[in-house]
Amino acid sequence: MRTMRPLSDLLENAEVLGKFTASQKERLVSLAVRRVLKRDETLFWQGDDWTNVLFISSGRLRSVIHSPDGRSYVVSTWEEQEEFWAHTLFDGGPMPSTMEAVQESIVYQWDGEEVLNILFENHDAIRALVARQIKLIRKRRETIFDLAFHPVTNRLAKLLLEQVPVSETSAQRDLTLDQIASMVASSPEVVCRTLYQLQRDGLLHVTRASITLHDREALERLVGVE
């Protein structure tokens, strides 16, 4: 059984919250609300006013944009040990996407204003937050570039590579065909045909339960990884 680490220990390597001093972390721990999210549970909806800060202790979340005609696109995924700072907290506007749990997840949640009050006492934490936001902007630019200039095969190969750790050749499959299609901005039919072609070429094998990479280097060449 996996041992549950204290929140104070989990925060040590956090991107922004990890920059807080020991006494500031103690204040964070006292203010935190622990939540257990079921698979596919929604944390907030696109259009909500949501002003909280999250730390993902375990599991994985995803940000999804929904269009008026019912289509959806996964903007990003949020992994274990990552933080999420709500857009509404900074600009007062509605959340641009819906946050869902990809799998059962444990998160710690804070009122954003309370966290900001502590943050403003710490110059290193402020700098870390600004750096984090710039990194996210650069990541969004990369996503837009991929959608504009890379075909579905390249985008799918990149997604599958991200699902399997570099040190491994296989991983549990947590995404449905519809979710994969949403993440590469395509249709399930096109994704299915592309997966079949990649499998026929001997690069990988995908089942309902797992993803196995037979030729990571060939997939990386498709993506353009040097």
Poorest-pLDDT segment among 60-69, 75-84, 115-124, 209-218 = 60-69
pLDDT band at 69 (very low <50, low <70, confident <90, very high): confident
Q: Which position has the higher pLDDT, 67 or 155?
A: 155
Strands laid side by side in the 210-213 sheet: 170-172, 210-213, 204-206
**Is 73's pLDDT higher than 50?**
yes
Residue closest to 98 by CA, chosen among 86, 83, 110, 81: 86
Q: What is the CATH number of domain 151-223?
A: 1.10.10.10
Give mean pLDDT, residues 143-170. Answer: 86
Sign of the C-alpha dihedral, residues 85, 86, 89, 92?
positive
State what percent of residues in the chain have pLDDT above 70: 97
Q: Which position has the higher pLDDT, 147 or 2?
A: 147
The pLDDT of residue 26 is 96
The pLDDT of residue 226 is 46
For domain 7-148, the CATH class is: mainly beta
Which residues in the chain are classed under CATH 2.60.120.10?
Answer: 7-148
Q: Give the tens place of pLDDT for each residue, 19-59.
A: 999 999 999 999 999 999 999 999 999 999 999 999 999 99
The pLDDT of residue 225 is 61
The pLDDT of residue 133 is 94
Task: Please give the mean pLDDT across all residues of the chain.
Answer: 91
**Is 1's pLDDT higher than 50?**
no
Q: Which position has the higher pLDDT, 140 or 18?
A: 18
The pLDDT of residue 36 is 98
The pLDDT of residue 60 is 93
pTM: 0.75
Residue closest to 165 by CA, chosen among 79, 48, 68, 42: 79
The pLDDT of residue 7 is 94
Which residues in the chain are classed under CATH 1.10.10.10?
Answer: 151-223
